[in-house]
Amino acid sequence: MSETTEFRTTTRHMLKRSKQYASQTLMGGLSGFESPIGLDRRDRIEALRTGDIGFVHSWDINTSVDGPGTRMTVFMSGCPLRCQYCQNPDTWKMRDGQPVYLEAMIRKVERYADLFKATGGGITFSGGESMMQPAFVSRVFRAAKEMGVHTCLDTSGFLNRNYTDEMIEDIDLCLIDVKSGDEETYRKVTGGLLAPTIEFGQRLARAGKKIWVRFVLVPGLTDSEENVENVARICDTFGEAIEHIDVLGFHQLGRPKWHELRIPYPLEDAKGPSAKLKTRVKEQFESHGFVVY
């Protein structure tokens, strides 16, 4: 029997008995994760729906970047937006990620649980857009909460309705990107709609969750006083849920990836914000009573 035929209707237990399974370990950014070998398209779609697997781009351990303390940040594959300043266009397509078992991800969190607790850290799901894979992410979060590990979701909020109220309960902190304050600019920046982001932030606030807002400041694109003021007014609707706002200056670190993927880069000649511009924007947010970094 050919190898393809053998795995046509693969189950997890069959994979564990296969000769390939014993030696398969994902390398590079996914070293140490188990990956479902041989699952056909139908099996993968069903496993994705239930959260038995997730498509992962990479992961790393960092401090004070994607939430408090020492964190395991998992970058999921797939994103419905096409932000002009995206640093990771290689995460746009889910099929370009590596399928990883739910159990493997949970074991990885468990391995670092003591470190997370000692540093006030935890696990952060980022992307891409992690809300494209709500079953996988929410099941890992549920397991993390049972271990006493802090959970953080980094998201645009664009897929707001992918997350149920029950799933939101297992989120301790959300890093939500408010990419623009008006629909026209938001569509220009991302190709998507602003309203779902606003609604998701308000849902988080009603559920008593903490929010860090992220706003990318791009001269000539997101920097107008009117746009920044509208972002601030959106943040006002999240109320006391907001712990602070991060004003992130645009940079060109993602440009090589666009070139490598042969995708036309819309901000080829764009510059980062001046100190004067960053100060003005920071002061605009502070005038609404927000702590701003």
Q: What is the pLDDT of residues 248-289, one digit of tens each?
A: 999 999 999 999 999 999 999 999 999 999 999 999 999 999
Q: Residue 201 — very low, low, confident or very high, per pLDDT cuts 50/70/90?
A: very high
Residues 96-153 pLDDT 10s? 999 999 999 999 999 999 999 999 999 999 999 999 999 999 999 999 999 999 999 9
Half-sphere exposure of 60 (CA within 13 A, CB side): 8
Q: Which residues contact 125 (CB under 8 A, 6 or more apart)?
A: 73, 74, 76, 137, 140, 141, 152, 153, 154
Binned at pLDDT 50, 70 and 90, residue 45 comes out as confident
Question: Which tokens sit at 237?
Answer: 């609707």
Q: What residues contact residue 30 under an 8 Å CB cut-off, 6+ apart?
A: 56, 58, 59, 98, 100
H/E segment holding residue 124? strand 122-126
Q: Could you name the CATH architecture of 54-286? A: Alpha-Beta Barrel (3.20)
Give the number of other CB atoms < 10 A from CB of residue 230.
19
Question: What's the pLDDT at 41?
Answer: 78
Whole-model pTM?
Answer: 0.87
